[in-house]
Amino acid sequence: MLKPPQTPAPDRSESAAPAAVSACPLPTVTQRRDFQRANRAPRVSTPAFVLQMSPTAPEGPARVGFTCSKKVGNAVARNRAKRRLREIARMRLPLRALPGHDYIFIGRRDETAARPMHQMLADLDRALDTLHGRKG
């Protein structure tokens, strides 16, 4: 009986895929009370999402949170919307977020998952300018 040729096992230390964690370098908001505090804070509505900004401790880092209600769709649609929101946050917030503030993204039905990314990035830039008090 013939044996199949043995291939060496790949070295997992160098080529291992990264762990399945958020690629956003900012800490995330996880506590319900933080989401509720942000709900009372200033907000900007865009076609694809709503952005809320809530001040926290001045010396603390900027944090980011994401939420999509069941109105956005089933679990697949909500997860897709949140992935897209995480991506635009990863691209812009590390450069533009103010320290000591929480940024909460709220997904919108049909728009968050369908709007082109370049338009979502432009929406985020305008929303941040408005929340930070810049004319734009």
Boundaries of every domain in the chain: 25-126
Residue 28: name the closest of 85, 77, 76, 95 by CA.
85
Tokens of 125: 């830039």
* Interior/surface letters 68-82, b for 16+ CB within 10 angstroms, e for the rest: beeebbeeebbebbb
Rounded to an integer, the average pLDDT of 25-38 is 89
CATH of 25-126, one of 3.60.150.10, 1.10.10.10, 3.30.230.10, 3.40.50.2300: 3.30.230.10
Rounded to an integer, the average pLDDT of 112-117 is 93
Global model pTM greater than 0.85: no
95: left (phi over 0), alpha (psi -120 to 50) or beta: alpha
Task: Say how far apart CA 123 and CA 9 lie, in whole Å.
Answer: 47
Rounded to an integer, the average pLDDT of 95-111 is 93
> How confident is the model at residue 57, as a pLDDT?
82
